[in-house]
Structure 1
Amino acid sequence: MSDFPENSGNLTVFHDVEEYLGQNGKIARTDNNFVFREGQLKMALEYQKTLKENSSLVCEAGTGTGKTFAYLLPALLSSKTILISTASKALQDQLIQKDLPAICNILKIPHNYMSLKGFSNYLCKDKYYELSNKFASSNGLKLDDYIDESAKKIKNTEQIERNKSDIELLDDDSDLKKGVITPEIMAKLELLVEKTDLALQSDNEIDFCEVNSKFDSVVVSKVTMHREYCKKRKCKYYDECFCYLARKKATSSKVVVINHSLFFSTMDIEDPFNFLCPPVMLPKYRAVVFDEAHDLPSVGREHLSFSISLYLKKCFQEDVAFIVKTLVDVPVKDIIEAYNQIITSLESMHSYLLSRQPYADGPKAHINFYKYEDYFQSDDPFEEYKVVSNQFRQRMVDLYSSFLSAKKLFIAEKELNEDFFESRIIMFSEAISTIVNLMTLDKKDNENAGKYVGTVEVSKKSFKLQLTPLEISDKFGSFIKKCENNNVSTLFTSATICIDHKFNKFIRDIGANSSVNCIEVESNFDYEKQTAFFCSKDFPKAEDSLRISKIICMLEDLINNVNGGVFLLTTSVSALKTAYELCIEKFSKKRAVLCQYRGLSNSNMLLEFKKSGNAILIGTASFWAGVDVPGKALSLVIIDKLPFTSPSDPLFKARCQSYDLKFGKNKSFAHLCVPEAVIDLRQGAGRLIRHESDVGGLVIADPRILSHSYGKIFLHSLPKMTVCNTTDDVLQFLKQSTNS
């Protein structure tokens, strides 16, 4: 019997969302902590209408709206099977561990939901028991000696629920030493496996032994399996395999939460619209929610790309170990020779690229820089270069030939293990196709010309040749169209979709119909009362080589006197390094100074920042988004520069060139460069106010936001804050707002 009534025709709605989220609704009457949010109710009502009509909705919901409840409540009331895709695994965990249980308890409905992650996130019993046996025999240890007595209680199924707190030890990574498998780690793994097996027997909520979020990457690599090495039905643990059990449960769950990366990975293997086509890992959903939807274009471009790198060397070593261990009658010598030919070609390419690369660990370069001796920067994406670099061409030919030889060998031996050899044949075919496309992408008769860009990334340790689509609008737009034609409703939501309160850019990026319903829901926060904004025309210009030191000197008194923690967000690693050295010199006696890439992981750095209460955290890239520090621990956010993508970035440059060819010369600045910088700025600024009681200051240390015409677009896209003329005004605002 289904937990929810399913109606594939007209939508059955049990209750209107206003009965729950209204000022005098059921939640308000039963939860003293409930805060009525007009925007939340507006979004929920609009999404409920979308679900009824099987249509699409794009919704920007400002920070503090409570957008998760606003879409979960109507989704669960709808009786539909729901797929939720969000930006990261951390957000998946938040939905599963916090938001969905809360909503299900409010609605008094079964907890029929689960999180599904990629294959190699789950513990592989075959690898785990092999590791466990080796560890026990080499150490002469009984793992039970290391399992905490309180944790042993979990073996009693009757105490699983009331002893959940005992399992918190699994999240403690204080005893993990990189590269060392300790008795404590093995004990924690054993406990986790036992806990999961018991949960499967009792049909409790389980995570199917997902280990990525609980253990160090070295430990994870020892106990997880890449999909191509899986023995599938030949494995003695197949019937109890956590990964396949997770996939099986997902296909029959009412709500499945995945991340955008997994969504794009499944696009070509799942057909949710054909009920005669059996599901692989996702249910036949009738509604899909894309949370943090602003990340879809960038994640999509990355996952729809093709690459060749020196990483394949490690992959081939694992292949050989797998073949020797599990396959019989396989010509191992021939396979090793084929792999060695590819590795030799890869290493030769790496050496050549390093000889051409004027800097170590530099940015990506357009592949034409290496393909042509007469290459120069040009605004014409179809520049006809004349002088081919024979050295680079020969290395690409060698790569092509080595992959082709390996492919022929694997085709001949395919019957020995169809799953494994087929996966490698596909890999070799993609590599061959990528090489051909990279070498002919600038030719007008190449069907991918103007749709993809070829790039080369070089470091001391590796390199990557990559073929990346300029946009996802064609492929993703086709998916949206199929949803419309098959009565599958779609919701795209994020706190940062609009540019100056307009949706045009996002709609174009995802390939949606221009007539799609779009709504903007204002934040529940009172930014004028909660946030002081400061910028000055006296800040140094973006091209000033001493700008970071000048900015910190200008803000020295503010940083010294602000009561709480400080985020300094930079737009480059070089700015990050300079800022760190100056902050250590000026502030380290009074405040802890934490900096990205200085030993601590991002998560540990954030924990130290929160614990300190008045630290300075200097970060770039990953700290602009998805970081949540409510309260006084974060009282000031300083953004060093408007986050324009570097015009030398080959992917971004190719996208701009393509846009200009379609819509007119120099149109890309207004319709690509500025909008994408606006979204990034809004994400960075959004780190400041995370709760109704938060108070803080935002400093944008780039005078262009005041002096250039496009600056108005940035300002109009930010919340309406109290504008301060001096840093003293910022301090006064913070003091008064904190005391009031």
Structure 2
Amino acid sequence: MPTLSEVFSGTGLLAESIRGFKPRQAQTDMAEAVERAIKQSHSVIIEAGTGTGKTFAYLAPVLLAKGKAIISTGTKNLQEQLYHRDLPVIKKALASNRKTALLKGRANYLCTHRLGQHGGNSTLVESDVLNELSIVRAWANTTKTGDVGEIKTLPEDARVLPLVTSTVDNCLGRDCPDYEDCYLVKARKKAMDADIVVVNHHLFFADMALKDTGFGELIPDAECIVFDEAHQIPDIASEYFGEAVSTRQIQDISKEITLLYRTVLKDAEQLEKAGEKMRMQAADLRLLFADKAAKGNWVEHLEREEVRTQMSRLEDAVGVVYDVCKLHIGRDKDLDNLFDRIVQVRDKLALFTTDQHDGMSLWYETTPRHIVLHMTPLSIAAKFRRFVESDERGWVFTSATLVVNNDFTHFQR
């Protein structure tokens, strides 16, 4: 096993395999700090400015260590770059045979069950979405991974994608008839078997939040966790440690009720009508805010009489859907899942109309069509510290921008 000096020196393994490689003391120092954190199972915070070569500085000690490692990046694009470009280069230079895996969020994988639901229901989607659906179907016959990013002819925000991928809310889990062939399940299994798993912060904290509520574990346990672009952690973590409810969620539930009504529950007309009424009340709430996308203080807006009245109407409409849906429980797995989501929406809406919000910040954000209500903790420090201290492992936090006034104290807190 080579030492880090043998890897990063002017005549070392990287110099031999990478054209134009020049040793940088800052890069070697960082690699040694990461190695110590892994071996001693402690945390290290490293600000590595442009030109340091921080990616190789943490990849080398991670590849040379024995335990499993998770590397989390700031965005999906950085995740792809790290996995497909940087990791293969340094892996080859070190002649490492450690198994690696790229794991994305569930919205990146085809859900064959949901694709099947839209098999012959062209009346439920617009013509442009129907065209996208035919592209997805053709690709679905050839894909090995189910990663929708492979479909280069579709834009990242293609309207068909929410129809053919799953969310935590609408996934049937082990009750799904397609569970054994699920691309997300296969990707998770590959990650469980790998030595090094590359994820992004959103996926990491979504999993951390799920584990915290006891629903499951997406990211396997590891002896080392590296956060690249670590300056993004406070904002992203706060999002997952809080609560949120959106009119888009309500619209999606309404659409799925309509789909079930037209396919397997043709006698549930009352449920379909209740779902449509709920969708309209959600849309009316959005109309009470400015057309342009914005963010603001929810508590202040709740003092507006028309907002309070509309929230009451929306809660009533969700309550009617809850009552009608309850009559059909047990008839269909997808409907049972919908009922659970309706319960969640009902409970979350109630959070935004009460006065008890100690330690939480209530705010909203609007898109051109929807409004999202957020409740985020004023501080995630205690919760995150408990998570970091819960197991013996090395933690590496690195970014080009972590210090304030030449001091790490703000980030540490």
Question: What range describes the TM-score normalised by the shorter chain of this pair?
Answer: 0.7 to 0.9
Q: Please report how far the alpha carbon of residue 19 of structure 1 lies from its aligned counterpart in structure 2 after TM superposition.
A: 1.6
Equivalent residue number for residue 479 of structure 1: 387
Equivalent residue number for residue 226 of structure 1: 166
CA contact (8 A) 2:361 2:376 kept: yes
The 5 Å alignment of 1:336-351 reads 336-351=272-287
CA contact (8 A) 2:294 2:367 kept: no
Q: Distance in 2 between matches of 1:235 and 1:325?
A: 20
Q: Distance in 1 between matches of 2:42 and 2:89?
A: 27
Quick one: higher RCO (CA 8 Å, sep 6+), 1 or 2?
Answer: 2
1:284 aligned counterpart, secondary structure: coil
CA contact (8 A) 2:99 2:195 kept: yes
Equivalent residue number for residue 349 of structure 2: 435
What is the CA RMSD across the aligned residues, in angstroms? 3.4
Cα 1:457–1:417 change in 2 (3 A) is: same
Q: Please report how far the alpha carbon of residue 88 of structure 1 lies from its aligned counterpart in structure 2 after TM superposition.
A: 0.5
Q: Distance in 1 between matches of 2:397 and 2:207?
A: 18
Equivalent residue number for residue 411 of structure 2: 506
Equivalent residue number for residue 658 of structure 1: none
Cα 1:107–1:456 change in 2 (3 A) is: closer
Code of the residue aligned with 1:309 in structure 2: it is: S
Give yes or no for the alignment of 1:18 onto 2:5: yes
Code of the residue aligned with 2:276 in structure 1: it is: N
Equivalent residue number for residue 201 of structure 2: 260
Equivalent residue number for residue 465 of structure 1: 373
Q: How many corresponding residue pairs?
A: 405
TM-score (norm 2): 0.84
Cα 1:181–1:102 change in 2 (3 A) is: same
CA offset digits 1:656-682 (Å, max 9, x no partner): xxxxxxxxxxxxxxxxxxxxxxxxxxx
Equivalent residue number for residue 490 of structure 1: 395
CA contact (8 A) 1:456 1:463 kept: yes
Cα 1:77–1:411 change in 2 (3 A) is: farther
Equivalent residue number for residue 367 of structure 1: 298
Cα 1:417–1:469 change in 2 (3 A) is: farther
Q: Please report how far the alpha carbon of residue 48 of structure 1 lies from its aligned counterpart in structure 2 after TM superposition.
A: 0.5
Equivalent residue number for residue 60 of structure 1: 47
Give yes or no for the alignment of 1:395 onto 2:310: yes
TM-score (norm 1): 0.49
Structure 2: segments with no counterpart, 5+ residues? none
CA contact (8 A) 1:192 1:209 kept: no
Q: Please report how far the alpha carbon of residue 104 of structure 1 lies from its aligned counterpart in structure 2 after TM superposition.
A: 1.6
Q: Distance in 1 between matches of 2:113 and 2:174?
A: 12
Q: Distance in 2 between matches of 1:220 and 1:132?
A: 13
Cα 1:403–1:102 change in 2 (3 A) is: same
- Range with bigger deviation, 488-497 or 432-441: 432-441
Q: Please report how far the alpha carbon of residue 87 of structure 1 lies from its aligned counterpart in structure 2 after TM superposition.
A: 0.7
Q: Please report how far the alpha carbon of residue 114 of structure 1 lies from its aligned counterpart in structure 2 after TM superposition.
A: 1.2
The 5 Å alignment of 1:406-445 reads 406-411=321-326, 413-417=328-332, 421-422=336-337, 424-425=339-340, 427-441=341-355
1:491 aligned counterpart, secondary structure: strand
Q: Please report how far the alpha carbon of residue 481 of structure 1 lies from its aligned counterpart in structure 2 after TM superposition.
A: 2.0
Q: Distance in 1 between matches of 2:363 and 2:200?
A: 26
CA contact (8 A) 2:98 2:196 kept: no
Q: Please report how far the alpha carbon of residue 424 of structure 1 lies from its aligned counterpart in structure 2 after TM superposition.
A: 4.2
Q: Distance in 1 between matches of 2:232 and 2:10?
A: 33
CA contact (8 A) 1:345 1:395 kept: yes
Give yes or no for the alignment of 1:42 onto 2:29: yes
CA contact (8 A) 2:46 2:398 kept: yes
Q: Distance in 1 between matches of 2:334 and 2:120?
A: 28
Cα 1:338–1:179 change in 2 (3 A) is: closer
Equivalent residue number for residue 319 of structure 2: 404
Equivalent residue number for residue 82 of structure 2: 95
CA contact (8 A) 2:278 2:318 kept: yes
Q: Distance in 2 between matches of 1:343 and 1:430?
A: 16
CA contact (8 A) 1:251 1:279 kept: no
Q: Please report how far the alpha carbon of residue 130 of structure 1 lies from its aligned counterpart in structure 2 after TM superposition.
A: 7.9
CA contact (8 A) 1:122 1:242 kept: yes
Cα 1:252–1:399 change in 2 (3 A) is: same
Code of the residue aligned with 1:440 in structure 2: it is: T
Q: Distance in 2 between matches of 1:113 and 1:134?
A: 40
- Higher radius of gyration, 1 or 2: 1
Structure 1: segments with no counterpart, 5+ residues? 1-13, 136-176, 198-206, 272-276, 373-388, 509-740
Of all paired residues, the percent bearing the same amino acid is 26
Equivalent residue number for residue 185 of structure 2: 244
The 5 Å alignment of 1:529-568 reads none
CA contact (8 A) 1:85 1:291 kept: yes
Cα 1:314–1:284 change in 2 (3 A) is: same
Cα 1:222–1:290 change in 2 (3 A) is: closer
Code of the residue aligned with 2:31 in structure 1: it is: A
